[in-house]
Amino acid sequence: MANLKEIRNRIASVSSTMQITSAMKMVSAAKLKKAQDAITAMRPYSDKLSELLQSLSASLDADSGSKFADNREVKKVLIVAITSNRGLCGAFNTNILKQSVLLANSTYAGKQVDFVAIGKKANDILKKKNKVIANHSAVFDDLTFDNVAAIAEDLMDLFTTGAYDKIEIVYNKFKNAATQIVMTEQFLPIVPIEGDANSVADYIFEPSKAEIVEQLIPKSLKTQLYKGVRDSFASEHGARMTAMHKATDNATDLRNQLKLTYNKARQAAITGEILEIVGGAEALNN
């Protein structure tokens, strides 16, 4: 059995860790509320914009400026992996990295696959064995639509210039603090509409269908990427809050076990000292 000093040191160490994890849990909980409100408020707008784009996409053709709907032969693929800049958030980052590598090695096996990292963890891991053409970790320092839109514009340029034939986004969709869903969305080319193409007849176009589509598609793509980053940001804080909550509970259990072990060791030491005193007294009497 470990001596009392070793057990006391372990109790102090575990207690210190428990204070840190508890503080991180409270910080993440405070940040989660703001991030959750932001993504919840944004989703209706994003969904409606995507719905409108799908309705208009039925009329996209080569003459309407549909350069973002060019379904050419896929030879070069770009995967945008959205992770966090920091760890201590459970399997949040690991799930994204696994899905990104799985896409590259299975779905797009035999093709040229490169990566764009949004988040320091994605860049640090993926660059070891893959080609990461850009790292946008700094976007989380000032998470605004304009900053994310600049990244989306770069991605659109890479597609329209023919540098890549397909662009996929991998991110964690926020469901609640304890649940994040790994999502893989096709960013470019635009996914063709499913269903009745005549639904576009319900719209009156002013000034013209071509001009509206030309302006709507880039805006929709920027919003799609911004929603993915916002979803990931909220998911990160939810995952970290949950992970730190479990870590605090585990530290509490371990501290209680160490205290019990300490008390048993202390009791055994005291009992041993008493026996030595009694034995010495009896020896003197004899």
Residue 128 annotated as catalytic: no
Residue 128 Rama label (left phi>0; alpha psi -120 to 50; beta): alpha
Options 14, 89, 96, 169, the catalytic residue: 89
- Cα separation values, 25 from 42, 62, 277, Å: 25, 52, 50
Residue with tokens 């034939």: 165
DSSP line for 240-283: HHHHHHHHHHHHHHHHHHHHHHHHHHHHHHHHHHHHHHHHHHHH
CB 158 within 8 Å of CB 167: yes
DSSP line for 100-135: HHHIIIIITTTSEEEEEEESHHHHHHHTTTS-EEEE
Beta strand pairing call for 76-82 and 179-188: unpaired
Both tokens assigned to 51: 């719905």
Determine the 3-state secondary structure of 98 from DSSP. Answer: helix
Catalytically active residues are 89
